[in-house]
Chain A
Amino acid sequence: MSSLDIAAIKADFPILKRTIRGNNRLVYLDSGATSQKPVSVLDAERDFYLNHNAAVHRGAHQLAEEATELYEGAREKVARFIGADSNEVIFTKSATESINAIAYSLGNSTVGSRFHLKAGDRIVLSEMEHHANLIPWQELARRTGAELVWFKVTDEGRLDLSNMDDLINSKTKVVALTHQSNVLGTINPLEKITKRAHEVGALFVLDACQSIPHYKVDVKSLNVDFVAFSGHKMLGPTGVGILWGEKELLDAMPPFLTGGSMIETVTMESATYLDAPKRFEAGVPNMAQAVGLGAAIDYLNKIGLDRIHAHEVELTKKALEGLQTINGLSVIGPKELEMRGGVVSFAVDGIHPHDLGQALDQFGIAVRTGHHCAWPLMKRFKTVATTRASFYLYNDLDDIAALVDGVERARKYFAER
């Protein structure tokens, strides 16, 4: 087993000590939706409000200075964590907002600029996108007349790249892809796709919500142009997301939200805008949340992403093995561990996921059931919903055993009635 001291880690997450539906130990297997938070993150937020609260980047007083230092310090931590420069790291309220910021910025660009999309241009996605990396592009396509095309997904839950050169052609302006599927656990092979995207001059947008919290992602070496991810899936607070972009692109792009903090000069008629990151941070930001995210990154660094990843691979291996011993259970997504993360979706014959999830909840096991904000992918696998277990650093083999046992108990419960 991995070198992580799970008992010590669990102790940092008080919520894991509570009981569920009577006296059941909480088995939290829904970190793909949102992770739990260690005390150090809550303390960091509380300390900000208790001792340093002031609007950042304004005011000459000491509190404003301290708040700014903490907020910009958090940006530094995010930047180091993903191998970026801090002036390329933009705080948003969520990964969803990060992707919308890019889509709206492109939509706001002037005719003839390299960011402009027009009828006949192409946006390339995949069938495994979360709605957050699908709907903003549908909307951009609708507004500009651009065409939406997508990679299909194979029966094994991998991207079908056989028609890549046709999909990504000279008309392609944007390729937006998830790094790791939130449903299947599939990690996508980016190298080939980013190479092709840049050959045709397209911008590459990566949804890294399910990857950056779990293993080392160095944005500079990925050959992508933009990366979006959220704080709350990586031990941080809700209300803070990240948009990373190549500095040269960000500075040239029109802003999405406009207002205070993002301007250089203002007259009654017009304004000029600051460079990134401030260009994309209008208004007083979610300061305490950003500081909390900084503390979450400290925590992840202290444990070590490589060890966290190795631990999750071990958990995933046991889960795949255990679940597949259950009668009538089929895993939806890759069954091998290569290029796959700690997310396992499955179906059990004759039991709807909602009913299965309900039964598991009675045993204290929290899983996600439903379409996982990936409706097209559900249709692809000819279903309306799946049950999904997702793992993180605070899960252990007992949690996996509880899941396997719980699914078997639920199966028997419904089969025998």
Chain B
Amino acid sequence: MELDSLYQEVILDHYKRPLNKSLAPNPDAQVHHVNTSCGDEVTLNLHLQGDQVSKVTWEGVGCSISQASTSVMTDLLMGKNVEDALALVEEFQTMLQSKGKDSGNEDHLQDGVAFAGVSKFPARVKCALLGWMAFKDALQQALKK
């Protein structure tokens, strides 16, 4: 069934058991993003240590795609330096906007490649990007400080 290409095991696992879903106090930046078309919400706390992403924690409500994608993102980006983290966000975004053509580089994106199938469903791309865009926004705000 075509649904399986969208709802990969790894996505449903992250949805049921999300990682880092508890806001750590005193962040360098906090952002709140919503998907205006469906009401999904993510609040994200970012901690930096020098130029390293030391902690990404979050709270949110929404569909399995938005929540699992945010979970995968926090796991992937934590511990990366700022430049590498941003490059990964770009790579994920490119994959999501490829309309099914880019299956993603598993060495880079790890569990993130599970979302390649989402790019064939235009209405869901925003869901998959919600947490990642929140991270990008938080990073920009933290770096401005």
Partner among B7, B12, B39, B127 whose Cβ is within 8 Å of the Cβ of A384: B39
A57 within 8 A of B: no
Interface residues of A in 367-417 (CB under 8 A from B): 369-371, 375, 378, 384-385, 413-414, 417
The interface stretch among A167-175, A266-274, A354-362 is A354-362
A358–B125 Cα gap in the complex (Å)? 13
**Residues of B contacting A362 with CB < 8 Å?**
1-3
A385–B41 Cα gap in the complex (Å)? 11
A247 within 8 A of B: no
Partner among A359, A369, A371, A375 whose Cβ is within 8 Å of the Cβ of B3: A359
Given the known inter-chain contacts A369-B38, A417-B9, please indicate yes or no for A355 contacting B2, CB distance below 8 A.
no
A25 within 8 A of B: no
**Contact between B38 and A385 (Cβ–Cβ < 8 Å)?**
yes
**Residues of A contacting B127 with CB < 8 Å?**
354
A417–B1 Cα gap in the complex (Å)? 13
**Contact between A358 and B124 (Cβ–Cβ < 8 Å)?**
yes
A359–B64 Cα gap in the complex (Å)? 12
B27 within 8 A of A: no
B130 to chain A, nearest CB (A): 11
**Residues of B contacting A18 with CB < 8 Å?**
none
**Contact between A371 and B38 (Cβ–Cβ < 8 Å)?**
yes
B102 within 8 A of A: no
**Contact between B38 and A370 (Cβ–Cβ < 8 Å)?**
yes
A165–B62 Cα gap in the complex (Å)? 39
Partner among A354, A375, A413 whose Cβ is within 8 Å of the Cβ of B62: A354
B37 within 8 A of A: yes
Query: What band does the interface of chain A fall in when counting residues whose beta carbon is under 8 Å from B?
Result: 10 to 19
A352 within 8 A of B: yes
**Residues of B contacting A358 with CB < 8 Å?**
3, 6, 121, 124
A74–B121 Cα gap in the complex (Å)? 40
A21 within 8 A of B: yes
**Contact between A355 and B64 (Cβ–Cβ < 8 Å)?**
yes
Partner among B3, B37, B61 whose Cβ is within 8 Å of the Cβ of A370: B37
A285 to chain B, nearest CB (A): 30
**Residues of A contacting B124 with CB < 8 Å?**
354, 358
**Residues of A contacting B37 with CB < 8 Å?**
370
A358–B2 Cα gap in the complex (Å)? 11
**Residues of B contacting A371 with CB < 8 Å?**
38-39
Q: Which of A352, A359, A362, A371: most chain B CB closer than 10 A?
A: A352
B48 within 8 A of A: no
**Residues of A contacting B59 with CB < 8 Å?**
none
Interface residues of B in 25-57 (CB under 8 A from A): 37-41
A254 to chain B, nearest CB (A): 33
B84 to chain A, nearest CB (A): 31
**Residues of A contacting B1 with CB < 8 Å?**
362
**Residues of B contacting A354 with CB < 8 Å?**
38, 40, 62-63, 65, 124, 127
**Residues of B contacting A370 with CB < 8 Å?**
37-39
A384–B6 Cα gap in the complex (Å)? 22
A22–B2 Cα gap in the complex (Å)? 10
**Residues of A contacting B12 with CB < 8 Å?**
414, 417
Given contacts A354-B63, A358-B6, A370-B39, 14 further A-B contacts (CB under 8 A): A352-B62, A352-B63, A352-B64, A353-B63, A354-B38, A354-B124, A359-B3, A362-B1, A362-B3, A371-B39, A384-B39, A385-B38, A413-B3, A414-B12
Interface residues of B (CB under 8 A from A): 1-3, 6-7, 9, 12, 37-41, 61-65, 121, 124, 127
Task: Give 12 pairs: A residue, B residue, CB < 8 Å, sorted on A.
Answer: A353-B63, A354-B62, A354-B63, A355-B64, A358-B3, A358-B121, A359-B3, A362-B2, A371-B39, A384-B62, A414-B7, A417-B7
Interface residues of A (CB under 8 A from B): 21-22, 352-355, 358-359, 362, 369-371, 375, 378, 384-385, 413-414, 417
